[in-house]
Amino acid sequence: MNIYPANFDKNDWQYSRNYQRSLDLLKGSIDLHVHAGPHLISSPRSVNPVQAAIEARDAGMRGIAYMCVFNWSVGTAWIVNETVPDFCTYGGIILNTVLGGMNPRAVKTAVYYGSGARYVSFGAHSTKYQAGVEGRYVDGQWKRLVDLYPEFVEEEYNRCIEIPLDKPTKEFDEIMKIVADNPQIYLVSGHISNAEALKLCDYAQEYGIKKVLLSNAVTEHLSEKEIDYAISKGAKLEKCLAEHTHTGSIPKTHYYIEPQYRAYDEGQSGAPAGGVFASANQMKKFGVENFIIGTDFGVYTLPHPVEGFREWIACLMDCGWTDEEIRTVSTYNPAKMLDIDVRKPMPWEKTEESGEVK
């Protein structure tokens, strides 16, 4: 039985809380931040890469990008694309300490490895800023890992990377030139400081890099003035649902093999202020054309990434967003990062005119 009136408008706030609408908006979307393993045995993933791709394909999504803090996900993407028909996944490289940090040779190799890197990220946990703020509670007091463990400083912190604020180092210069020479690649800030992120926007403009994504770990801490500046430089800003879930207030970071280094994710001593509603309002305030949503899901304490992306979409529905606004952050903007023309069918999709695979 149809419970809606004849003049039903699915964007009307009275009727927007519709499960089917969230499923419909999931079709064609792209999640650029999926963690689908493998990972440390102390932090199991909820899905493996093949499962993540099949679930995304069956939900009608256009693609997903794997983020891996321990390996080149470009190799994972190649294997999945050889295995899962009628779908395309993407990978890249995150310059963490396990890959040598600020390592031009690793970046150059990733460009030609597997299906070819589609992003280069300046570190996740392996940045001086990130490793410097991660911590845990000891006897009720918040303590940073760098203050608790001298061996952490020697083995991890001293090997972490940072964006040069004065002038490019030789290694940084080489990496930026590689990205500039390969326009199929988009540049990801990684977990760096606000000052580093804004400087990276400057560098990207100087090197002629057109596609820059400021990671959620950066976006959540930028001031309004800093957001304006990043947008003026042409950067897109990432908003991930994982930042605002129940896991934000518990120590879920398992980047390090040593159990004593278990920390609160992104250095947070508690749940982020504001939550989903504040993030939605911020995107609207600064223009949805400047933002990309992702899940950052894959950790076993959260739903599978596809369900996470649907939940993100449903949350935006509840915030009163229109279909076009939701598709801008979930489909159009991430497609631009991957050079996908959403107006054209993928090779395995059928055209309406002929019914034949194009």
pLDDT in tens, 110-144: 999 998 999 999 999 899 999 999 988 889 898 99
The CA distances from residue 309 to 121, 326, 333, 334, in Å, are 22, 11, 15, 13
Burial 93-115 (b: 16+ CB within 10 A, else e): bbbbbebbbbbbebbbebbebbb
Cα distance between residue 130 and residue 115, in whole Å: 30
Cα 33 off chain centre by: 3
Both tokens of 75, joined, read 């190799």
> Quick check: bond before 85 cis, omega within 30?
no
- Is pLDDT of 255 > 70? no
The pLDDT > 70 percentage for the chain reads 86
Cα distance between residue 38 and residue 150, in whole Å: 29
pLDDT in tens, 198-253: 999 999 999 999 999 999 999 999 999 999 999 999 999 999 998 888 766 665 55
Please report the pLDDT score of residue 271 as a whole number.
Answer: 42
Mean pLDDT over residues 329-344, rounded? 95
pTM, to two decimals: 0.89
- Is pLDDT of 267 > 90? no
Cα 194 off chain centre by: 17
Please report the pLDDT score of residue 250 as a whole number.
Answer: 60
Closest CA to 292 of 329, 325, 337: 329
Please report the pLDDT score of residue 121 as a whole number.
Answer: 98
